Amino acid sequence: MLGLGAGAAAAVGLSGCGTLTQSDGSTHGSGSNGGGSGKPSPSARAIGDGSTSFTGKQPYQPAKPEPLQPGQAPPQFVVFSWDGAGEVGNGLFPRFLDLAKQHQASMTFFLSGLYLLPESKKRLYNPPNNRVGASDIGYLNDEHVKATLTNVRRAWLEGHEIGTHFNGHFCGEAHTSVKWWTPQQWRSEIDQAKSFVKNWKTNTGFTDLPALPFDYDKELVGGRTPCLLNQENLLPTARELGWRYDASSPGGLQVWPSKKHGLWDFPLQSIPFPGKRFQVLSMDYNMMFNQSQNSTKAPAYNYPAWREQAAGAYIAGFRRAYFSNRAPFFIGNHFEHWNGGIYMDAVEQAFKHIALAKEKGADVRLVSFRQFADWIDVQKPEVLAKLRTLGVGQQPVGGWKTFLKETPSSSSSPKGQAA
């Protein structure tokens, strides 16, 4: 586990994103399900056909974030995120909800809109540059749609963020790929993804499930594109929609983020790959690709070493950031069983390692992308500009008390560096 010396582990004053609390004062994870009773709030108000509803402030959110004070070290933020966020009977969605609840953590779930659309209604989906109803991911059967709804509802009630992974997941070089979509076509895809969430009752005919407890027009403030493609054409549309961030950049570095087109750019990051001279992107797919050349069913004798290598990569990325520039650490995964499920075991192992560091006193915050955006939005531009001068693995000269003791006024911050 993380060997934290007394000085490194000492927690600094809270600056938001600490213990998650409910409006009644209870902490994240208290009660039977970590999200209250699971029953609609007495003040719940149905939206549209009743698929979604307004239920008030989301439970288990961090305290109001505050700017870093002079000489204060930034917390180590870690964001675990999930692409697709469908529950297909393998128990992975509730497995990681249970893990987050146990450690009072928040995550981001990038929901694919098609996972709430029955295949019998697939002609409601009109993907850009593709035939009506086409999709490169499978439609879910009714039981799996219900399971996905149940877990998405639970996720929000337990303080997690619901973003979007769009719909049909078209990748590659062909003209059908999202790589070629225009900003207007991205708008069509987003509108449809939101519609499938906001109208699942009409589309499914289900009458035995409660409404999702959020207004998706307000909840949705960020996403991740399929295969990390075509962020440049998504961003103008995302900005028009009032989104706050995008997590689609490939090949990012472990440095403090900046904005593109007015949105925070939260990329997957290159992290050390144990036993290799190259680095790997902080996502399960990239681990798998580098270990088994895209085979999801490689010979099982490889699994123990690969599992440890994947877990070691995540842990190495965390340690490098924590003991140097404190850049936020972004991790992406899928609910999958590639190579015997070793990547799910690896991310759980890494998650527990990071959570243990927090529980031993390290100033570590396991948050969603939106929660991190809340924190970074209130930081002084000149402080963020100073943090961005730190390279990958670079420690602040003189330590944090010296490095952030005094910063130039915002009026003299480097052009283009202000948040």
DSSP letters, 79-125, are: EEEEEE----SSSHHHHHHHHHHHTT---EEEE-GGGGS-GGGGGG-
pTM to 2 decimal places: 0.89
Q: Are 112 and 136 in contact (CB under 8 A)?
A: no
What averages of pLDDT result for each successive group of 10 residues across the chain (419 residues)? 32 34 44 40 86 96 96 97 97 98 98 97 97 97 98 98 98 96 98 98 97 98 97 98 96 95 97 96 96 94 98 98 98 97 98 97 97 98 97 97 75 38
Confidence at residue 173, expressed as pLDDT on a 0 to 100 scale: 94
Confidence at residue 43, expressed as pLDDT on a 0 to 100 scale: 72
Nearest to 347 by CA among 309, 381, 384, 390: 309
Q: What is the rounded CA–CA span in Å between residue 334 and residue 230?
A: 20
3-class SS at 375? helix
Backbone angles phi, psi at 108, to 5 degrees: -115, 130
Q: What's the chain's Rg over C-alpha atoms?
A: 21
Backbone angles phi, psi at 256, to 5 degrees: -70, 135
Q: Which CATH class is domain 12-39+63-412?
A: alpha beta
Q: What DSSP character marks residue 228?
A: G
Confidence at residue 340, expressed as pLDDT on a 0 to 100 scale: 97
Interstrand relation of 161-164 and 108-111 (parallel, antiparallel or unpaired)? parallel
Confidence at residue 42, expressed as pLDDT on a 0 to 100 scale: 60
Instruction: Report which residue type is found at 396.
Output: P
Confidence at residue 294, expressed as pLDDT on a 0 to 100 scale: 84
Q: What is the rounded CA–CA span in Å between residue 249 and residue 159?
A: 25
Nearest to 410 by CA among 381, 385, 386, 390: 381
Instruction: Report which residue type is found at 127.
Output: P
Q: Are 382 and 407 in contact (CB under 8 A)?
A: yes
3-class SS at 245? strand
Four-CA torsion 398, 399, 403, 406, nearest 10 degrees = -100
| Distance (Å) of CA 93 to CA 148, 334, 336 | 8, 10, 10
Confidence at residue 34, expressed as pLDDT on a 0 to 100 scale: 35
Interstrand relation of 245-246 and 259-260 (parallel, antiparallel or unpaired)? unpaired
